[in-house]
Amino acid sequence: MKISILTLFPELFEPFLKTSLIGRATEKKIIEADLVSFFNFAQPKERIDSPTFGPGSGMLIKPEIIQKAIENQDQKNGKSFKIFFSPQGEKLNQKLLNSLYQKIKNQDHLLLVSSRYEGIDTRVEEYYSDLVISVGDFVLMGGDLPAMCFLESFLRLFPGIVGKTDSVESESFSGPFVDYPQYTSPLSWKAMQVPEIIRSGNHGLIQKWREKMAALKTVKKHFEWLKSYPLNQGEKNVAKEFIPPHYAVLMHNDVLLKDKSVGTTSVTSLDLHDIARAAATYGLKNYFISTPLIDQQKVVQTLMDFWQTEGPQYNIHRFQAVNLVRMVNNLDECVKLIEESKGKKPILIATSAKKHNHANLITYFDQSKVWQEDRPVLFVFGTGHGLAQHILEKCDYLLLPIEGFTDFNHLSVRSACSIIFDRWLGINIREDKIDNLS
Ligand SMILES: C[S@@+](CC[C@H](N)C(=O)[O-])C[C@H]1O[C@@H](n2cnc3c(N)ncnc32)[C@H](O)[C@@H]1O
């Protein structure tokens, strides 16, 4: 494959193209790079850039110069597949690389346009680009490093460039889990040992251990990726082992009433059923209903008794869900029950529709922060007008309110529970990986 690289600084690419596996790929003629300087297409003493229109100072490479460079390369090496680089482009990831490889692996000519200054005149990008790639949500001074980053990740997919295809296919982001931990000699380094099991010679056990370690790392550090992957049941089971046990409590006491005083509210059968069903869907261990009022406890008990006796015949799924419900008098009792069952005090995450000042505000992407302590997690939901201040202060974290593109967020607590469970623990397959569905 011929690769034209259009840049202001060909000298940046020279050592890159001669070194290591890319150097070998050139020697083996798997690729043939054609480094082209934009300066070759400017008249002597002509400026290569010109200012952008409108307010704001910035320079762009002149469209005619890019045009001449591209058309010259296409004439010389045949019609190319053209890739531009921009922070606004499609995010480079393994999926994009794999599908691009399938699409253009037999293409004779690939052309990369690496710009500088403020970027590229929009018309040039729209007219020529087959793909615009971003290497991440940050701004570099030019497209040269993104072009090299693309080349390193793209070329390793070609047979004969990286030693074993095996190592290309089993690395991070080619499946649901990132790569497992790897070790080499010496066996002991800085008093840290190579795990016994991977020296055991038992390939089956090593394979299992690697999968577990990879799942552990992915749950702890790349949960966003894992949640977006079309997992099969076996993969879900492996991952589940490393997600700490989650609980929810619905507070009917220690909540704010309409007049802003702290008081108690009544339980509703809808909250009991619907939140139990959401809790079951997202794998919560228990859903606690907190009320100290005897008559309210009786209402809950009656509903639970029904499900415990006639429930299995009536609706087995609803029975499974309602089976997760436990009644407590207050938050402290709930915390104590979890601590007794798991041997560790739970981390309390408060929820609220309002923005409060809290020492530890968290977002829906903060699982790894919360999970690093390896303790059970308890979501605390309020009825009435929300949790009382002293309950909010008792909680270790406060989740940001749920919001849309409106100024209305008065959700029922049932809806809020479902949304929060889903954002925190829900699998949300990304469309671009849908072809892995099994
Ligand atoms: C200073 S940047 C221009 C940034 C542009 N004005 C913007 O805000 O989107 C100059 C050039 O560097 C390259 N570049 C910078 N950051 C990049 C990134 N994250 N991914 C890909 N290319 C990038 C692009 O070629 C870009 O045109």
Q: For residue range 83-98, what is the model confidence (pLDDT) as tens digits? A: 999 999 999 999 899 9
Q: Is 86 in the pocket of ligand 1 (CB under 6 A)?
A: yes
Please determine, for residue 261, whether its predicted confidence score (pLDDT) is greater than 70: yes
Please determine, for residue 81, whether its predicted confidence score (pLDDT) is greater than 90: yes
Q: Is 364 helix (H, G, I), strand (E, B) or coil?
A: coil
Length in residues, the chain = 438
Report the pLDDT value the prediction gives residue 242, as an integer from 0 to 100: 97
Report the pLDDT value the prediction gives residue 201, as an integer from 0 to 100: 92
Determine the distance separating the centroid of ligand 1 and the alpha carbon of 258, expressed in angstroms. Answer: 52
Query: Among candidates 415, 384, 378, 414, which has minimal Cα distance to 271?
Result: 414
- Give percent of the chain above pLDDT 90: 84
Distance CA 98, CA 92 (A): 11
Report the pLDDT value the prediction gives residue 169, as an integer from 0 to 100: 64
Cβ partners under 8 Å of residue 332, min gap 6: none
Helix (H) or strand (E) run with residue 244 in it:
none
Report the pLDDT value the prediction gives residue 314, as an integer from 0 to 100: 82
Determine the distance separating the centroid of ligand 1 and the alpha carbon of 259, expressed in angstroms. Answer: 54
What tokens does 231 get?
């997992």
pLDDT, average across residues 290-304: 95
Tokens 């009022």 identify what position?
293
Residue 278, amino acid: A
Contacts made by residues 47-52, CB under 8 angstroms, sequence distance 24+: 48/8, 49/117, 52/118
Cβ partners under 8 Å of residue 374, min gap 6: 244, 344
Q: Is 87 in the pocket of ligand 1 (CB under 6 A)?
A: yes
Domains and CATH numbers, the chain: 2-168 (3.40.1280.10), 188-239 (1.10.1270.20), 244-425 (3.40.1280.10)
Q: Is 176 in the pocket of ligand 1 (CB under 6 A)?
A: no
Please determine, for residue 171, whether its predicted confidence score (pLDDT) is greater than 80: no
Burial class of residue 110 (count of CB atoms within 10 Å of its CB; 0-12, 13-18, 19+): buried
Neighbours of 149 (CB within 10 A): 16
Report the pLDDT value the prediction gives residue 438, as an integer from 0 to 100: 42
Distance CA 73, CA 392 (A): 64
Crossing angle of helices 10-18/20-27, nearest 10°? 80
Out of 85, 96, 122, mutate this one to test ligand 1's pocket (max ligand atoms within 8 Å of CB): namely 85
Q: Is 291 helix (H, G, I), strand (E, B) or coil?
A: coil
pLDDT, average across residues 327-353: 98
Distance CA 35, CA 7 (A): 8
For ligand 1, what atom is nearest to the CA of residue 84? 25
| Per-position DSSP letters for 297-321, written without gaps between them | HHHHHHHHHHHHHTHHHH-HHHHHH
User: Rounded to the nearest 5 degrees, what angle is found at the Cα of 259, between the Cα atoms of 332 and 381?
Assistant: 35
Q: For residue range 104-114, what is the model confidence (pLDDT) as tens digits? A: 999 999 999 99
Please determine, for residue 437, whether its predicted confidence score (pLDDT) is greater than 50: no
Residue nearest to atom 6 of ligand 1 (CA): 118
